[in-house]
Amino acid sequence: MINCLIVDDEPLAQEILESYVQQNNQLYLIKKCSTAFEAFEILHRQKVDLMFLDVKMPALNGIDFLKSLKNPPSVIFTTAFSEYAVDSYDLEAIDYLLKPITKERFEKSLEKLFKIQPTIVAQEKNYTYFKVSGKLQKLMHDEIFYAQSIKDYMMLYTKNGNYIVHMTMKYLSELLPNNQFLRVHRSYLINKIFIKSISKNQVRVNDIEVPIGESFKQALKNFNI
């Protein structure tokens, strides 16, 4: 797992980066910091592998902050100002992302990280945080039986109860690890480890019969229980 820190004084920029981090099973967000001083405290208390660092911040900018660190983590600069790119290369930053940052560009910066520093081993998280009733709920992947799409919401059926989250099936499919979760219907995503039996039109997940969509049958054709 790659421990990362977001250092940015803009709340919107923090939210966007946080959403990208949470969608990537290789990253774990330690904290969002609004100032370099706040980040400095975290760096001296916890192991940080990667820092998403804004350039223009109050009191101490990102460039000077990075220069002040004796053993800095890997850094990806995130800023709206292109003129600091040369400084970032001099500081051996992994990448320089210009705002607004797209998810595609974010992922490319991570690819650069793994190429430049292959010793950073990314282990897949075995959990995901979901926003349920305004609060973050941590759900272990091995406890989720299946998910059902209901308009703009997803119902997550788990060992510890059911949870309603506001997201699309497409988003959930990208959020959960595809080596464990499988789309079997336009409205259903199942956890492979709970498959009990498979028939022509249904798959039994735990004790529930889930329909198999015609266009998804091929995915289950060679599945061994």
Question: Please, what is the average pLDDT of the chain?
Answer: 90
In a domain, 121, yes or no: no
User: What pLDDT shows up at residue 223?
Assistant: 72
Residue 28: give the domain boundaries. Answer: 2-116
User: What's the first-to-final CA gap in the chain, in angstroms?
Assistant: 30
pLDDT in tens, 26-65: 888 999 999 999 999 999 888 899 999 999 998 899 999 9
207, two tokens: 């004790």
How many domains does one find in the chain? 2
Is 131 domain-assigned?
Answer: yes
The H or E element spanning position 71 is none
Structural domain includes residue 122: no
pLDDT band at 121 (very low <50, low <70, confident <90, very high): low
Give CB contacts under 8 A, 24+ apart, made by 113-121: 113/50, 113/74, 113/76, 117/74, 120/2, 120/49, 120/50, 120/74
Last residue of a domain, one of 82, 116, 150: 116
pLDDT band at 214 (very low <50, low <70, confident <90, very high): very high
pLDDT exceeds cutoff 80 at 86: no
* The pLDDT of residue 81: 85
Residue-level pLDDT at 99: 93
Is there a domain that residue 150 lies in? yes
Q: Is the pLDDT of residue 12 over 80?
A: yes
Which residues are registered as beta bridge partners of 51? 5, 75
Radius of gyration of the CA atoms of the chain, in A: 21
Give the burial class of 150: count Cβ atoms within 10 A of its Cβ; 0-12 exposed, 13-18 middle, 19 or more buried.
exposed
